[in-house]
């Protein structure tokens, strides 16, 4: 595997499962030192023990600004600096028709899927030098409506607007910010939405490719976006969704 990211320091939020875990594994394989941020301390410590001395775990709830700030501080303190970041943390709290969603559930989805990204960008941007890159996970909920998931969709739409605005603010100093429009990916969150167990066959996915992606496929694209090979890409919302948003 190429080591186009060799020597860099990356921060990954939501890094103990699904896409976040896959990204952490991929970037370490490409020669990166990584700070993994997540709420599940036991899983986080187990992951970094497996990844080796180039990995650091910090327990963090990125809906809390102080925790988002602490992740950046840990990267600088433990690994010397911060070069790139992946804001991946997010979940689905509220479900069902909009008239049945209460204010607390609405606020929880916005906090976990949008405000967390804002906190991340706010504290990551000042730490990055020229050539820095940030990837925000927006999902296909950022570009299409999904009935029964209006708070999640509203938050993810916000991630794209936030990504584009911050990318314009940072472009002149050589810092890039992009968003992923991820489709059907075999993560614990996706299986939970389908009420599927960890070993259940997911069958054909509702996209033109008729399949569900492995998290490692998303991680490979993230590694490209973080690298200097993608240095002319910024402010973009990039679908990686088996064609789901093409038509």
Strand pairing partners for 176? 133
Half-sphere exposure of residue 165, counting CA atoms within 13 Å on the CB side? Answer: 10
Distance CA 233, CA 133 (A): 10
**Which helix or strand (DSSP H or E) is residue 182 part of?**
strand 176-182
Both tokens of 34, joined, read 């990584």
190 is catalytic: no
User: At residue 22, what are phi and psi to the nearest 5 degrees?
Assistant: -60, -40
Q: Are 76 and 82 contacting, i.e. CB atoms less than 8 angstroms apart? A: yes
Catalytic hit among 57, 119, 152, 190: 152
Is the Cβ–Cβ distance between 111 and 63 less than 8 Å?
Answer: yes
**Cα–Cα distance for residue pair 140/238, rounded to 1 Å:** 10
Catalytic residues: 152
């Amino acid at each position: 595997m190429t080591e186009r990211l060799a020597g860099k320091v990356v921060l990954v939020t939501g890094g103990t499962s699904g896409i976040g875990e896959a990204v952490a594994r991929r970037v370490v394989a490409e020669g990166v030192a990584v700070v993994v941020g997540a709420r599940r301390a036991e899983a986080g410590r187990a992951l970094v023990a497996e990844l080796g001395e180039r990995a650091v775990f910090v327990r963090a709830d990125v809906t809390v600004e102080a925790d988002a700030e602490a992740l950046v501080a840990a990267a600088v303190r433990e690994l010397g600096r911060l070069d790139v970041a992946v804001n991946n943390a997010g979940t689905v709290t509220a479900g069902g028709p909009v008239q049945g969603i209460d204010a607390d559930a609405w606020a929880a989805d916005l906090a976990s899927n949008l405000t967390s990204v804002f906190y991340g960008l706010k504290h990551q941007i000042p730490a990055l030098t020229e050539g820095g890159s940030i990837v925000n996970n927006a999902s296909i909920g950022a570009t299409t409506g999904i009935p029964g998931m209006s708070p999640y969709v509203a938050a993810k739409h916000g991630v794209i607007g936030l990504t584009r605005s911050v990318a314009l603010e940072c472009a002149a100093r050589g810092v890039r910010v992009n968003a992923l429009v991820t489709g059907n990916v075999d993560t614990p969150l996706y299986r939970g939405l389908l009420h599927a167990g960890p070993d259940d066959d997911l069958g054909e996915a509702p996209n033109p490719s008729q399949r569900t992606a492995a998290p490692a496929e998303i991680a490979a694209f993230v590694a490209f976006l973080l690298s200097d090979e993608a240095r002319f890409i910024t402010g973009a919302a990039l679908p990686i969704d088996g064609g789901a948003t093409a038509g």
